[in-house]
Structure 1
Amino acid sequence: MALETSAEAPVPVRTVLQAVGGWIGKLGRVWVEGQIAECKKRGNTVFLTLRDPIAAVSAQVICSRQIFEVVNPAEGARVVIFVKPDFNATRGSFALTALEIRAVGIGELLARLEKLRRELAAEGLFSRERKRPLPFLPGVIGLVCGRGSAAERDVVQNAQRRWPAVRFRIEQSAVQGPYAAGEVIEAVKKLDADPEVDVIVIARGGGSLEDLLPFSDESLLRAVAACRTPVVSAIGHEQDSPLLDHVADLRVSTPTDAAKRIVPDVAEQLALVTQLRDRARRCMRGWLDREQAWLDATRSRPAIADPVREIERQAEQVDALARRARQCLDASLTRAGDDIAHTKARLLALSPAATLRRGYAIAQHADGGVVRSAAEVSGGELLTIRFAEDELTVHADHE
């Protein structure tokens, strides 16, 4: 029940602390999982700092040396402890009293990691569709690694050997232990917020399963999945496979391999440029040779090689056709003239004028009618006598 107090009726500190101790005591005994961040032994008592595996929260654990030495865990080990919450009202301090300690075995850790892997895969954090391509030549590389670690030297030296102009933005953090996941998350977020950083590399050397547990931390995995910058996982060796490898945009086997994958080799690129330039030169030369051959073949044709000769040949054909046309026309006119002459001769032969020129004459009545016999003529009738060249008017006289 809540204490009934007021400014006029306050309660002593001991009463408040006793109430707090009573409330905490109602929690009862519980099993707690965590990671041993610190271990101090004083006489027959061991003081442990138990850190939450995900959140930055820790609690003080007190146990006897006999209980501790049953398992004898080292700092950084994952343990499960059966504890009784205890609040010291005299000092106002809270601690957990350990009644039993159990080490988290490899099999149990693997089972938990497999369960987390299935959950994240179901959410789509491992899908290929969300993987982002790495830039061909990053201007600034963000590197998260241990302080003075060999992984840092491997990445930096190999990258600069391949491309001397490459720049790094290095964030050093713990890479194992209870604080590793939190520090790596902060480093990743800091680099992701930097607009100059084109790619982020998380690098660490090899180690045991327990050493690499921070890189399977759920908070770290979700932070990497939320990054806008491509992330490369270079954790451990080829056989090591923390869950970060599945969430990152690219997984490499070693930190040295990370430098080779994110930075192109300047010598290889120069050789490639030379090769492509030679190929382009060969293609252009072949195209020019084909076009020159076509041009030469076109120029060798008679119409192009000697265009005047073709004009002369066409002129000769025109002249020949003109001569043939004139010959045909002359022949046609000659035949037509002969036909006209023959027709004219026949007409002249049949013409009355020809008969008149032989000495004959035609007598015509006054109305133009031809006198065919003397009986048709009346005495004294005026007749016209037509000769070949002229005519004569006479009067008929019957005897």
Structure 2
Amino acid sequence: MSFSTLPGSSSFSSHPLAPYGWDADWEAEFAPHAERGLLPGRVVRVDRGLCDVVTPAGVVRADTEFVVPRDPMKVVCTGDWVAVDPEGDDPRYVRTLLPRRTAFVRSTSSKRSEGQILAANVDHAIVAVSLAVELDLGRIERFLALAWESGAQPVVVLSKADLVPDPVTLAHLVEDVETTAPGVPVLTVSAHAGDGLDTLVALVGSGTSVLLGQSGAGKSTLANALLGEDVMDVQAARDVDGKGRHTTTTRNLLALPGGGVLIDTPGLRGVGLFDAETGVGQVFSEIEELAQECRFSDCGHESEPGCAVRSAVEAGELPVRRLESYRKLMRENQWITAKTDARLRSEIKKDWKKRGAEGKAAMEAKRGRWG
């Protein structure tokens, strides 16, 4: 029997899992598992090999032993849709993962090239940035690169806007972030004062949203404001640097009262890229567009003749900070990718040697002219 036609249910909107994002496509994916008598569910929390899964019968605790793969990208994470054992089985196990629509991935601190799944099946990636401290535009660009690469729509939320009472100053800060985040909505929100929350509630009212940001960015306060109650613990950020104390220690998936689903995450100290070249290109779309006018298709925008990107910097049309940030993230992403690609590693080393030789030749030419 189709879960969409359970007794008392006339549509997907009345399905027990509808508040968590269940739809016709998920039901179609789950059909083979339904024939085996398994239950559909969405992972709302993962903790040391066990996970909480919301199912049509309620929230169950399940073991992930049967879906522990060699590939770290396929471990069970918050936001996954899964098939679990029916009621009566003890212990209960997650038997399989349904294919993910999107996945938010960062690199690990491992020396190997490994990714860590932060959240799955996300529609909106909300990057929370505190206005209590100086804006770190480079970090915002890093978060956005991961968000674009995941397949989700990024949104930047400038939290604690009540700490910037001067409207002119606030407008300048928003403009700086908008320049940093082309094609991304930028919202100013004060959870304490309630300013800007209506717009954010409307935005997250459908689909699944994940809250990202450093400790102290106000994620838990935003989550409580969206939930309409104090579900997440909140602690004051340190005055010296605005950083918090990791009040959220696990990733939790919560259904919002006005519709939509929210995944709150712990504050992220490190936000390493993981195979995010497309995401980086999206963040720096103006540089990618300029690069099409460069004389050489493989222009590194360093010292090559006919570089349209450097010409834009020299003309004041492109901030030098943007170009430097673009170079940094592209190099980092290239290095992460090369960790598991011997051919690419070799090409990178050859390129570094070539650029080093060109730089040395240029310096010797200058010395010759000065001499």
Q: State the TM-score, normalized to the length of structure 2.
A: 0.28
Name the structure where helix makes up a greater proportion of residues. Answer: 1
Q: State the TM-score, normalized to the length of structure 1.
A: 0.26
Higher normalized contact order (CA 8 Å, seq sep 6+, divided by chain length): 2
